[in-house]
Structure 1
Amino acid sequence: MDIHRTFGEVVFWEEGKLRHGGRVDMTRTALEGFGKSLLETDEVVIEATGNCMAVSRVLSPFVKRVVIANPLQVKAIAHAHIKTDKVDAGTLASLYAAGYLPEIWTPDAATERMRRLVARRYQVVRHRTRIKNEVHSILYAYLIPKCPHADLFGGRGRGWLARQPLPEDEWMAIERHMRELDRLGEDLAVLDREIAESALVDPAIRRLLTITGVNLTVAVGLMAAIGDIARFKSPQKLVSYFGLNPRVRQSGLGAAHHGRISKVGRSHVRAMLVEAAWAAAKAPGPLHAFFVRIRAKRGHQVAAVAVARKLAVLAWHMLTKEKDYLWARPSLVAHKVRGMELQAGKPQRKGNARGPSYAYHVKKLRHQEMNIARKAEESYAHFVGAWRPRPPKGRARGRLNPARLE
C-alpha cells in the first residue's frame, strides 16, 4: 500500500505477478472493510508516514503481519523515473517479496506513548527558547545591557526588565511574550509530570540515571527511542541509530577515510546526548578524563560528541547486562530519583522521614563521593596514558621502535 493522507493505493503480489487492487480511503471504517477482505496469511507492506502507525494498528488483527518500510533506505522509490502511486506500491511489494525491503521497528503502545510525550515536550521547549530569543533581540536592538540577574525571566529579572526604557509597542510585545512563556511553563509542568509518572515504574530509566550527567529528561528520551534494547545486537548498532558514527569513504585498495558523524537517525536524542556529555565532562570521573584526552587532540566540540558516543555505548552495555554504572555516586543518584518522584506528584518528606537523597545535601558526604570519582578519573588517565597508536599495516615486522631505544 502506498498511503497518503486521504487514500491508499493497493497492489497485490501473487505468484510473482502484480495486480492492481484500487484505492482505499484512509478512514477506520474503510480500512477495517479492506482488512476483512484479506486472508489471515496475507502480509501488508506500507511506507513510514505520519499515519502509518494508525494504519498498522487497524490492519494487524486481519492479516499475518504489517511491515513498515524505512523511507530513507527505499531508494528505488525516491529515484524512480516513472513515479506514480501504483508504481510505488508495486515497488514496495517487489522489494519485500525479494527480501530486500528495509523495515523499521514497530514500538509497543507504552513506548509509542512515551515517544509522543518526549516529542511534545521537545516542541514546547523549542517554542519557549524562540520566545526568549525574541525578548533578548528587543533588548539588543535598543542597547539595553545584559541583565545582572541569573534569569531574565524570573522574578528579579522581570523586575529589572520593567525598569528599562523601551517604546510602548515594544513593551506590549514583551508583555505578550511573557504571557506566552507563562502558559508554556504550565504546559511543560503537565508534560513533565506525565513523563515522570511513566518513568517511576521503568527500571531501565532508573538504571540510566546512575550515569553522571544523565538526568530524567535524557534517560526518558533514550528509552523512548531505544524501546527494546534486544533489537540492537551491538553497541555500534545503537551508536549508528543515533547518528553518532563517523562517515566512512573507501573504495578498492585505498585507505578508508573517516569524516564527520553521519547524523542519520533521531536528531532529538542525539542533541540530548551531547547536552548530557557536556554535563558529564564537567563532573569528576572517567568521562571527564576521556573528554580531556580527546579535547587535547581534536578540540572541545569533537570531544563533546565523542563523550556522547561513549554515553550511547555505556547505555547499551548497562541495559543489555542489566547493571548500573560502575562509578555512580549514590547520593547523586538518590537525589535524581527523589526529584523524579516529586515531579510525578509524590508527597514531600518532612521531619525524621528523610530518605537516602538527603545525603546529597550533606557537604561532607558529597565531597567524599566526588573524591572517589576523582580517583577513578586518575586511574583511567593512568590506564590510557600508556596507549600508543598502532603502526601501519604495511610496516615490516621486526623493525625496531625508536621509542624503545630511548
Structure 2
Amino acid sequence: MDVHRSFAQVAILEDGRIVAERRVELVQEKVLTFGRMLQADDEIVLEATGNTAAIERLLRPFVSRVVIANPRMVRAIAYARVKTDKIDAVMLARLQAAGFLPEVWAADDDTVRRRRQATERMGLLEETVRLKSRIHAILHANLVPFYKGELFGPAGQRWLAQATLPDHERRILDRLVEELRHTIDQLAALDRELARLALADERAVRLMTIPGIGPIVATMVLSAIGDISRFASPQKLASYFGLTPKVRQSGESPARHGHISKQGNASVRKMLVEAAWSARTAPGPLRAFFVRVNAKRGPAAAIVATARKLAVLIWHVLAKGQDYAFARPAFQAMKLRKVALKAGAPREYGKAGPGRDYWIKEIRQREMEYVKRAEEAYARMVEAWREVPPGSKKRSC
C-alpha cells in the first residue's frame, strides 16, 4: 500500500506477479471493508507516514502480518526515473516478497498512545513559547521598560495588567495573556496525567533513579523506545536518538568523526540534553564525566556527551531491569513523593511520609558521601588512563 493523506494505492502480489491493483480511501469504514476482503495468511506492507499507525491498527486483525517499511531506505533501494503511485506500491510488494524490505518496528497500542501524548505536550510547549514571544514583542514595540523579575509569574502578571499601552495594543495583550493562561493550564493537566503514568510504570520508576530524569523525561523516552529489546546495544539506542557522531571513511584514509547525526526523535534528544544539564549538578560519576569532557572540549560538547551517556544508562537500566547503581534511596523516595503530589495525590500533614529519610541530615549526608566516593573513583580511573608507561606512546582519553 502506497499511502497518501486521503487514499492508498494497493498492489496485490501473488506467486511473483501482480494480480490486482486498486485504490482504497483512507476512511475507517472503507479501510475495514478492504481488510475483510483479505485472507488470513496475507502480508501487508506500508511506508511509515503520519497515518500509518491507524491503518496498521485497523488491518492487523485481518492478516498474518502488517509490515512497516523505512521510507528513507526504500527510496535508496527502489530509486526510479519513472515514479507513480502504482509503481511505488508494486515496488513495496516486490521488496517484501524478495526479503529486501527495510522494516521498522510497529508500535503497540500503549506506545502509540504515549507518543500521541508526547506530541501533544511538545505542541503545548511550542504554543507557550510562541505566546510569550508575542507578549514580549508587544512590550518592546511600545517601549515598555524591561521587567526584572519573572514576567509570567504572579507578580509579573500584575505588572503586565498595569503596563501603559494604547487601547488596541492592550486588547491584543490581554487576549494573548488569556491564551497563555489557558495553554499553561492544559500543559499542567497533561503533566499530571504523565506523572500518573510514570508512577504506574515500573520502567519509568527505574529510569527516575538516574540523575536528571523525572517523570516527563521518563515517559517521553519510553514513548520513543517502546520495546527495549529491539535495541541490541546501548550504542544502537544512542544512535536512535541521534546522539552518536557521524563517521566518514574511504579507502586508506583514517576515519573522521563529525558532529552528532541528529537523525532520530528530536524531541527526546532535546529532553535528554536538558536532563544532562540537571544531571551535571548532582554528585556522582555523571558529574565527573561532564567535568572531564568539559575540561577537554568545552561545555557544549560536554553536555551532548552527557546526554549520550544518559542514553547508555537508560539502555542498561531497561534491558537489565535494574535501578541505577548510584541511586540514593532517600533522595529517590523524596523524588517519587514529589511526583505523586504532582499526579494529584493528597498531602498528608502530621505524619511521616515515604520521603521522610531525605530530610534526616545524617541519612542525607551518608548518601552524599557514597556518591561522592563514586565520583572520586571515576576521576582516579581517568587519571590512570592518562598515565603513560615508560617506553610507550602517549594515549588520549
TM range (shorter): over 0.9
Q: 2: distance between equivalents of 1:139 and 1:368? A: 50
Match of 1:175 in 2: 174
Q: 1:145 to 1:382 in 2, by over 3 A?
A: farther
Q: 1:362 to 1:296 in 2, by over 3 A?
A: same
What letter is aligned with 2:15? Answer: E
- Residue in 2 aligned with 1:394? none
Q: Counterparts of 2:173 and 2:331 in 1: how far apart (Å)?
A: 38
Aligned-residue RMSD, C-alpha? 2.2
Structure 1 position 258 matched with structure 2 position 249: no
Match of residue 387 from structure 1: 385
Residue 277 of structure 2 corresponds to residue 286 of structure 1: no
Q: How does 1:344-355 map to 2 (within 5 A)?
A: 344-352=343-351, 354-355=352-353
The residue number in structure 2 matching 1:50 is 50
Aligned residue number for residue 297 of structure 2: 298
Could you tell me whether the CA contact under 8 Å between 1:2 and 1:10 is conserved in 2? yes
The Cα shift of 1:76 comes to 4.2
Report if aligned partners of 1:20, 1:86 keep a CA contact under 8 Å in 2.
no
Q: CA deviation at 1:341?
A: 1.6
Shift of 1:324: 0.7
Contact 1:239/1:309 (8 A) holds in 2: yes
Gaps of 5+ in 1: 392-398
Distance 1:138 1:367, change over 3 A: farther
Residue 41 (structure 1) aligns with: 41
TM-score scaled by structure 1?
A: 0.91
Per the alignment, residue 360 of structure 1 pairs with 358
Contact 1:247 1:259 in 2 (8 A): yes
1:369 equivalent to 2:367? Answer yes
Residue 79 of structure 1: how far off its partner (Å)? 4.3
Q: CA deviation at 1:362?
A: 4.7
Q: How big is the shift at 1:234?
A: 0.6
Q: Percent identity?
A: 50
Q: Amino acid of the residue matched to residue 12 of structure 2?
A: F
Q: Report the equivalent of 2:119.
A: 119
Distance, in Å, in 1 between the alignment partners of 2:240 and 2:105 is: 12
Q: Aligned pair in 2 of structure 1 residues 168, 361: CA closer, same or farther (>3 Å)?
A: farther
Residue identity in the other structure for 2:50 = G
For 1:380-400, what per-residue CA distance to the aligned partner results, in whole angstroms no more than 9, with x for missing partners?
Answer: 111111214999xxxxxxx93
**Residues in 1 aligned to 2:388 and 2:319: alpha-carbon distance in whole angstroms:** 30
Counterpart contact for 2:8–2:23, Cα < 8 Å: yes
User: What CA deviation, in whole Å up to 9, does each residue of 1:56-83 have, x standing for no partner?
Assistant: 1121111110111111222248843111
Q: Distance in 2 between matches of 1:381 and 1:172?
A: 58
Report Cα offsets for 1:93-125 as digits up to 9, x if no partner: 121122221112112211111111111111101
Which residue of structure 2 lines up, in the alignment, with residue 188 of structure 1? 187
Alignment partner, residue 15 of structure 2: 15
Partner of 1:108: 108
Give 5+ residue unaligned stretches, structure 2.
Answer: none
- Which segments of structure 1 move beyond 6 Å, counting only runs of 4 or more? none
Partner of 1:401: 392
Q: Which moved more, 1:326-335 or 1:261-270?
A: 326-335
Q: Which amino acid aligns with 2:196?
A: E
Shift of residue 216, structure 1, vs aligned partner: 0.9
CA 1:363–1:127 in 2, change beyond 3 Å: closer, same or farther? farther
In the other structure, the counterpart of 1:61 is: 61
SS of equivalent residue, structure 1 residue 307: helix
Q: In the superposition, relative to structure 1, how do residues 350 and 106 fare at CA in structure 2: closer, same or farther (>3 Å)?
A: same
Q: Per the alignment, in what secondary structure is the counterpart of residue 116 of structure 1?
A: helix
1:305 counterpart letter in structure 2: V
- Taking the TM superposition and a 5 Å limit, the aligned residue runs for 1:193-208 are 193-208=192-207
Aligned-residue offset at 1:372: 2.9
State the partner residue of 1:340. 339
Q: Which amino acid aligns with 2:172?
A: A
Quote the Cα distance in structure 2 between the aligned partners of 1:7 and 1:390: 65
Q: Which residue of 2 aligns with 1:161?
A: 160
Contact 2:10 2:22 in 1 (8 A): yes
Task: Verify the 8 A CA contact 1:216 1:336 in the aligned structure 2.
Answer: no
For residues 74 and 147 of structure 1, the distance between their equivalents in structure 2, rounded to whole angstroms, comes to: 53
The Cα offsets for residues 190-243 of structure 1, whole Å up to 9 and x where unpaired, read as 212222222222100000001111111111111111111111111111011111
| 1:235 aligned residue | 234
1:265-280 matches, within 5 Å, as 265-280=264-279
Question: How much does 1:361 deviate?
Answer: 4.1
Distance, in Å, in 2 between the alignment partners of 1:70 and 1:382 is 45
1:375 deviates by 2.3
The verdict on how the C-alpha distance between 1:305 and 1:137 changes in structure 2, with shifts beyond 3 A counting, is: same
Provide the C-alpha distance between the structure 1 equivalents of 2:23 and 2:142, rounded to a whole number of angstroms.
Answer: 59
Matched, 1:309 2:308: yes
CA positional deviation for 1:179: 0.4
Partner Cα distance (1:31, 1:77) in 2: 28
TM-score for both structures, normalised by structure 2: 0.93
